[in-house]
Structure 1
Amino acid sequence: MALRTAGSVLVVFLWSVTVVLGQDGWSVTYTTQSICALKGSTVELTCSYTYPSGHKVTTTFWFTEWGTGVEPKDLGQDPEYAGRLKYHGDKKSDCTLRITDLRLSDSAGFRFRFITSGGKGSGPPVSLTVSDVVLEMDPTSVSEGERVTLRCRTNCTLDPITAFSWYKNGQPIPNSNTSSPVYILFSVSSEDTGRYSCSVEGHEDLPSAEETLNVTYGPRNTSVSVSPSGDIVEGSSVTLTCSSDANPPVDKYTWYKKKVTSPKASGQSYSITNISSEDRGEYYCEAQNGRGSMNSTALMIIVAGKQTSVLTAAVGIIVVVLVLILCLSGLMWFRKKNSTSTSNTRDTADDGQGDSSPVYDNISNMDMTPTAAQTESTYDQDDVHYASVHFSRSKNQEVPLYSTVQLHQPQKQDQDVQYAAVKFNLPSSATQPAAAQAAEVDASEIYSTVNKPRTKKT
């Protein structure tokens, strides 16, 4: 108990009572002839004695057992009292005895005996009753809303008693000190479940033993959990577990599926193996004990498609990536080939092929009719000749295409260069694309290189 303290001492002081043993000055005086003490406490048996003058005291002791013609045994020699018995008297007049750590077995009649040089004397018995503090609970097991009566008592009367203290789970109950030995719990709830005890005021370190209050109630806080957690796919297995707070514990669990009249299973756990789409739906459990029953909230099970293995998924991803790479490579190769083919086509196209796209004509070196002087100096000619180039455009042409213009490489550097204007025939604005109209607004001259007649150097 939390309030128990080591080394505490309960001392019972007794009222003075004179016991006369006979004439001629023999006597033993006790403070009382009846003592009530608590188990675990300390008690003092206070007494004094007298004897005739001229006598010398040789032996003093306390005893509990005696018989006719048999010398009583000294309690100081009894192993049951080893370390617990202390004689505070002397061999003159004081015969006080202290007993510590009282036990229930210490309840007995105690007597003092002394022997002098001239005779023997003994006092009458002093009754010692050792009691523990007892807590009585009625009833010890109740349903919520019922009443419980607690009673604190001892086997003998302690004097004086002013109040009693009450404890739950080793801690004082607030505002529970009362002069009455009865404490009542009205309309108990599950929160009142626990271990109770009581003590006598002034002896809080010596409380009663704890007996337990059991408050029963039906299932509450009933819920369902699923394992494993996460997505539920076809072919997998799950286990549903029902939990509930109840006293006494739940003794029956029943599983149901909404919109299905008959129960699915019984027991705290319910396993569903090889799940299919037919297993999807809302599941709940019913918890029941002797005090009532309660349903859990519904748990929705959603069944997804069959689970694909990690290896299969990885292979599928790799295949998709490879296909994409091949497609991209093929597309790039096709574009490159198409570009090369188009270029070759443009190089060989001419106006007589009926191509819808205008193509510039290949122009070769134009041979002029040479004069005698010109013929004579042909090989020395390094002048460059230019001819006028004419471009024709189809009405349906959107993008002009250009062809290669071949130029004659002169043997020597030309001294003079002549240029000829290049004329473009553009379609009407009605059939001309936007890009071409823009080009018409911002037209520029294009020059083509042609051969000019060579003259002889002087």
Structure 2
Amino acid sequence: MWLLKTISVMLVITLTLLGVCVSNWKVTFNDAAPCALRGSSVVFGCSYVYPSDQTITNSFWYISSQGKNNDLFLTQEYSGRVEYLGNKDNNCTLKINNLISSDATQYQFRFETVNKGGETNAWSSKTCVSLSLTGLTTKVQPATVREGERVTLTCVTTCTPSDHPTIVWSRDGHSVSNTEFLASSEDSGRYQCAVQGQENLNSAPVSLDVKYAPRNTLVSISPSGPVVEGTSVNLTCSSHANPAVENYTWFKKDGTDTSQTGSGEVLRLTSLTSSDSRQYFCEARNKEGAQNSTVLSLIMQDTNTVQMPVYISSAATVFVVIILLVFLWMWKSPFKLCQKTAVDKKDNQNPVLSSRRTSNDPATQETRTEEQENALYANVQLPPSHPHPQDSSLYSVVKPPPLQNPADPHYATFDFQHFHSSTDRAQHSGLHGDDVVYSKMKPKQAKVTDNLQYASIQFPLPSPTARSEERLEVDHSVIYSTVAKPEA
């Protein structure tokens, strides 16, 4: 009896001491069975304790099936995807990024120490972290509905993600806010669920097919425009429906009477007559129902009625073109007249140019011809000793006086603007714009020289002191010219 009690006491003491020793070496995981989405990241929360006389020399994670000496950081398939968030104190947290299917396995943590006496120790976690991976699966219930029926959207996973992400929905790329609704035709499409903030982690799309009867049924006519007797037209029936329209039926209304006139999507009317001037409409039908289109009134017009607007339009076009041409002509004429007037004013300042331009004017040809018959011509020659003999020829047209005054003297006006050279300008600096040179014509009494007249031309020249000695030898101030008068 005594022996039995002694053994029991010793066993209790041993177990107590063993428990104390074990409690000094320990690894704890926050979640031993985490779940994550493929392609996302997962964090293994971890902490560990050890005796105070120990110092950490090394710590690492490894895959349980590969043995405790295979550091996860040295494994090729995890290279660049693992992060150690812990330290060499008591934090052993691990993060794995870009999860792939092979990452779904068991993981353990191990650390190594050395005590003050130099003795080394190592400790591995007694439990492991079992990682599960899942994807997202969309369920649309029911997948085929009629308008007005209830639809429910569900995003399914094989496990519950540890970070409890928010699920978002989309239809054909557009956001969907409700996961339960009454279906309408606009709700047809492809639905997907995804993790908020990680929309690339989405499910495969699932289609919702909403059935509805034909709607927006319309009739169109081609060719467009007035309908003329004897021609042909096509009437086309169009409608939106799901499933597609199976049957098109055409009807013709004559007052209150309605009769079927054809079938098919297109109704062709050929060789139209006045009896075809009726109202037409079509009926579109599928398994979900039917709908009638609006009424199209077909009104015949004879050829003359149709062509009249064409004639009017053509006449109006021609009239507008004529008005534009007249306007352009009236606009250009004043411009040319202004240009001509400006040139005339400029030319009139030069008697020679004015005389030349006027002589070329057809309107004055007849008058000028008559005047030329009575014109006197004078050829004025300067002496050879003149400094510029090449400029010494001057010509003048001298008009005779009226016949009733034959005794009156004749005068000739000379324009020296083409005569002056640079030297002449200096010598004739005494001339002014108001100086006019006149020649006086005196007919002779002799019979032979009745047609000759003489002109004495005086040049106002500078004072003798301004002349050179060479020029003083010959007096240039008097020039004589012979004027031949045409015989009467």
TM-score, scaled relative to structure 2: 0.46
More strand by share: 2
TM-score, scaled relative to structure 1: 0.49
User: Higher relative contact order at CA 8 Å, sep ≥6: structure 1 or structure 2?
Assistant: 1
